[in-house]
Every structure is written in C-alpha cells, then in structure tokens.
Structure 1
Amino acid sequence: MRIALFITCLNDTLFPATGRAVVTLLERLGHRVDFPPEQTCCGQMHFNTGYQRDCVPLVRRFAEAFAGYDAVVTPSGSCAAMVREHHGRVAEVSGDDRLSTAVRAAPRVYELSEFLVDVLAVTDVGAYFPHRVTYHPTCHSLRMLGVDDRPLTLLRAVRGIDLVELGAADQCCGFGGTFALKNADTSVAMCTDKVRHVLATGADVLCAGDNSCLMHIGGALSRLRTGVNVMHLAEILASTEKAPVHGTAEPSPTSWRGTERTKTP
C-alpha cells in the first residue's frame, strides 16, 4: 500500500512534531510513508469564509500532489473533512471537467484514527504513556467524519495510561477557525466551559485529533497556569517505553505548559 502524509498548514507551520509522530507510528507498524513536497493548503480556510473559487488552484494542486497513492493520512479531522466533503464542490464550481475527474480519482484521505482502526485493523499500536489523559473529540471528526470512538479505542489500548472521561465532551471548544476571531466573546465563553470540564477530570494531558482545537484550549490552560499539557493523539500513540514522545522532564514541542493547577477558569 502506498501511503502519503498530508501534514496540513497548521501542523507544518506550528506543530511539526505531530507529523513526525504520525510517520514514527506508521513506520513502527511496518508501513512506509511518503511526504509529497508539492502539497500545500487544502483550501479549508478559503472555503469556510465563502471564497470557493479561490480554492480551485489549491484543490488542483492537492489532487496532483497525491495522485498515485492508495491512501492519504492526515492528523486533522477538519482538513480530512474538507477534502472528502468539499473538494468535489470546488471542482464543480470551477467548471473544469479535468479537475472534477482528478478529484474523483484522488486517493481517499483518512484521519489518523480512521486509518489505523478501519484500514489497518489495528487498535493496539504498542504505545506506552503513563499519564492521566482525557480526550476531546473535535467537531469535524465527530460530526462530519463520524470517527466515533475510534480514538478512544486506540487510547484504551495504550499501556500505562489513565484515561478519564471528559464531561460534555461533544461540546465545541469555540475555535472554529475564523469563528474565534469574528465571534471572540462567544468563542472565549465556549472555551471557558471546555476548560472547566478538563480541569474537573484531574488530567495531566488533554488529547485531541486536531491541533487547531488543542491550540485554542491549550492557550487558555496555559494562561491560567493550570499545569495541564495538550498533546495530539498521534504523539501519544507514537510514544513508547523505550522512546517516549512525552517525557517527564520536558513536555512535547506541541504542548502548552503552565505551572499551577486552578480549579475553575
């Protein structure tokens, strides 16, 4: 199986450790992972703000970059949803039959937990992570992709983990891309609720499948000096007893770290 990594803009720019974790994990499971250097933005930011025609060059480039692969794996439910749910619409708007054909022929894009559980039929990836963890299901992965409990199934198989349930887990964290900018007060209120539920778990680490949401929640956790780190699912699954991604001395590069835990935001 020819597998390619779609890193996404946010991860490539701010959270490169997540992409490395995906490759580490899949290689440990016996698979080679390619990184097409021609890849760029999937167009989600443009599409969500109404600039569908401006997505056309990005969709064309995506289809060309990943042509020939059997599967494309990404550590982002939101970007996977953009490709699977909206690239066809962009191709339709373009009026270019060749682009529509390229999009239909493009390999299926999988969010990481989908690929592991549904395609590779793996739930125990050999991870070791001796920390108290709670999991936040992001909106796109939950509502558009329907990943359901696949991430939790993978986390439950991690050795040493103390996995605790997050209250009101299905509630949005308030990020929503430009929503957090255009509706800042509402976004902050939603994040405050999410932080309250995270702190109630007593977890050391908040995990999710999208770094965009973790960036939003992690910023609040850090500003409040809660001492709670955030980590992408890929980093926890890539961690092993011999080579932990998240050591006890220093947090992961994608983690936010405070110095004190507070009871309420």
Structure 2
Amino acid sequence: MTWSEMQPLLEQACWDTLYMVGWSTLIAVVAGLPLGILLVLTDRGGLLQNTVLNKLIGQIVNIARSMPFIILMVALMGFTRWMTGTTIGRDAAIVPLAIGAIPFFARLVETAVREVDGGLVEAVQSMGGNIWTVVRKVLVPESLPSLISSTTTTIVTLIGYSAMAGTVGAGGLGDIAIRYGYQRFETDLMWITVGILAVVISVIQFAGDYAARRLHHRGGHSGSAPKLRLLKLKTSPSQAS
C-alpha cells in the first residue's frame, strides 16, 4: 500500500480515535470527579460519614475496575445498542469506554483528594463553611495538580482502550492496525499506527505533566501556600457560606 493510499485512512483513524477518547474522557471526568469526592466524604471520619454507602460505592467501583475492557464491551452490547442504536462505530465505542473509565478516574480522584491538608478543611468549617464550600474552596483547588495528572493518566488509558475497541469495529487507529496491518498483512501500516499512538501518548503525557507542574508552582503547594489561601478566605467571610 502506497503512502497516498495510507494517508486518508490514517487521518480518518486519528480523528476517530481523538473523537472517542475526547468524549469518553469528558464523561469520565464529569461522572468520576463527584464519585471520587463522594468516596472521600462518606469514608470513616469524612464530612458525610456513611459506612454503608461508602462500602457500596467502593464495591461497585472495584467490580467495574476489575473487569477486562474487552469483556466489558461485550457485556454492554445491549446497553450500547439501546443508547446509540448500534454496537459498532465510534459513537458506540464511547459507551463502554466511558463506563470503563469512570471508576478508574474516580479512584484516582479519591487518592488525590485524600492528600489535601485536613487543617484547611477544619479551618473553612470553623468559619461556617458548609460541605459544598469545603469541596469548592479547598478539596478541588488544593488537589488540582493531582487531578490534572489523574486526567492525563485516564486519557492515556483510554487511548489504549480505544485501540482495543478497534478489534470489534469501533474504528480508529486500532481498527486500522487490525484490519489492514494484521488481517491484510500490511505490516508497514500497522507499525505506522503504532508509531502514531506512541507519539500521541507522549504528547498528551508531556502536556499533562507540564500543566500539573505549572499549577503546582503557581498554587505554591509549599508550606506557605495553604496559609495564604486560608488568609484569603478569612478576609472574605461572605464567601464561606
């Protein structure tokens, strides 16, 4: 296969992969962020301590995370068809990609939020701040660099999942590698797709690490930074409610 024949295939496959991963990441972040925060809040000693609810959510997350993605795709075929009207193509692939990524991202969020200094939480509560204020003013801002890193990890994982989804007709670079590179013995095309995936993952990882470092330094996550933010909250008591 010549480059002029490969180019349109690779361009479309790249867009399909970015489309699947982009929407899946958005859904995973929107659903996984509150889920991860809820796991922290309902844990023992949390602001919404509820052992039964915490154990229930934790078990659901663990079961979903433990399921291999290829099995998850098969298990969700009925649900995917109900949601999108089909089980093949990039739109259909978003369903299992997002559902597989939500519990993964939620656990990363839980880890990030647990690293927040408890003293800041207590200080905001002592100023009359409610739970929503604690989440909005302390938990999310203080864990933001870690959340950016968690999002980066999720995107990289989803790129791998999307390549796997290509084996069942989801489209994207994985589909090109299997359909042309493996089944039609176009090894050059297969290695090109591998190279593209490696470059995309490297760029995303670099961008995510850079953004996390910038936020870390800008926020000044050294010893004086939490005190400065706390002082700002104290001077604006109306925002604590």
Q: TM-score band, normalised by the shorter chain?
A: under 0.3
Which of the pair is proportionally richer in helix? 2
Work out which structure has the larger RCO, using CA pairs closer than 8 Å and 6 or more positions apart in sequence. 2
| Structure label with greater radius of gyration | 2
TM-score (ref. length: structure 2):
0.27
Which of the pair is proportionally richer in strand? 1
